[in-house]
Amino acid sequence: WLEGSTGSFCFAPVPLTLCQQTLYQGGDSLNSSSTLVSKNGLFTLGFTRVGSAESNASYLGIWYNNDRSHPFWLANRGKPIADNSGVLAIDGSGNMKLTYSGSDPVEFYSSQSSTTNITAILEDSGNFVLKDENSGSQLVLWQSFDFPTDTFLHGMKLGINHRTGQTWSLMSWLSDLAPIPPGAFTFSQRNFSIGIRCALNIKR
């Protein structure tokens, strides 16, 4: 292991794997040959292929370290990457986005003013959190728990924030090999009761 100013790196056969839990503004980036690992070692954030062995489609996701086959969170669920060109980074202005060839970037957070000390950390809960380290309380700017896919983890919410309009719900994968929405089932909270909506595909 090598302890550096921005985290820990583990030496392995090429490609080198990033073994820290934090992504730093203006320097670090995450690509197809690197991952973030939570401090407790339970969760991993990185690019992974989902589907058949012949598929080259990759997604930025979070998974349990012992089960990469079904990530519980996907950043680009509806926009799979066709190759290994995906890069996640926080630019010098404080914007966090996913870029890859052949399509527009996926923007997670766009800073309203120039900031210089933003970090994104994969927490021990499995939540990927973007924070402003300049604020005394380490203000949370964005978090993956606000955009769940098909899995509910401790610390997540289901429901509606009537003040901001933010909603939290789960939607099943289209199939075991296709995470793209819409899936057949949605799990959500409406009027203080939790219900499941099933979209039936009727074939002639």
Please give the average per-residue pLDDT across 145-154, as a whole number.
93
pLDDT of residue 53: 60
Query: pTM here?
Result: 0.79
DSSP 117-180: -EEEEE-TTS-EEEEETTSTT-EEEEEGGGS--S---TT---EE-TTT--EE-EE--SBTTB-P
pLDDT of residue 148: 93
Please give the average per-residue pLDDT across 164-171, as a whole number.
84
Please give the average per-residue pLDDT across 172-193, as a whole number.
77
More confident residue, 161 or 195: 161
Please check the confidence at residue 135 and state whether its pLDDT lies above 80. no
Please give the average per-residue pLDDT across 91-101, as a whole number.
92
The amino acid at residue 183 is G
Give 116's pLDDT tier (boundaries 50, 70, 90).
Answer: confident
Please give the average per-residue pLDDT across 85-102, as a whole number.
93
More confident residue, 50 or 85: 85
The amino acid at residue 61 is G
The closest of 192, 199, 147, 140 to 169, measured between CA atoms, is 147
More confident residue, 38 or 159: 38
Sheet with strand 58-64: strands edge to edge: 35-37, 43-49, 58-64, 73-74
More confident residue, 132 or 177: 132
| Domains annotated on the chain, with CATH | 22-148 (2.90.10.10)
More confident residue, 95 or 166: 95
